[in-house]
Amino acid sequence: EAGVTQSPTHLIKTRGQQATLRCSPISGHTSVYWYQQALGLGLQFLLWYDEGEERNRGNFPPRFSGRQFPNYSSELNVNALELEDSALYLCASSGDRLFMNTEAFFGQGTRLTVV
Amino acid sequence: AQSVTQLGSHVSVSEGALVLLRCNYSSSVPPYLFWYVQYPNQGLQLLLKYTSAATLVKGINGFEAEFKKSETSFHLTKPSAHMSDAAEYFCAVNFGNEKLTFGTGTRLTIIP
User: Contact B81/B15 with Cβ under 8 angstroms?
Assistant: yes
Percent above pLDDT 90 for chain B: 73
What is the DSSP secondary structure assignment for residue A25, as one 8-state letter? P
Cβ distance A42 to B45 less than 8 Å, yes or no, reads no
| Residue A83 three-state SS | helix
pLDDT of B40: 87
3-state secondary structure of B49: strand
**What's residue B94's pLDDT?**
87
Chain B residues in contact with A98 by the CB 8 A cut-off are 94, 98-100
pLDDT digits (tens, 9 = 90+) for B59-82: 999 999 999 989 999 999 999 999
Is A4 at the interface with chain B, CB within 8 A?
yes
Shortest Cα distance, chain B CAs vs residue A95, angstroms: 13
- Has residue A95 got a pLDDT over 90? no
pLDDT value of residue A1: 67
Higher pLDDT, B47 or A97: B47
User: By mean pLDDT, which of A7-21, A67-81, B21-35 is the weakest?
Assistant: B21-35
Write out the E strands in chain B.
3-5, 10-14, 19-21, 24-26, 32-38, 44-49, 56-58, 64-68, 73-78, 87-94, 101-102, 106-111
pLDDT at A98 exceeding the cut of 70? no
Burial class from Cβ neighbours inside 10 Å (0-12, 13-18, 19+) for residue B92 reads: buried
**A99 pLDDT more than 70:** no
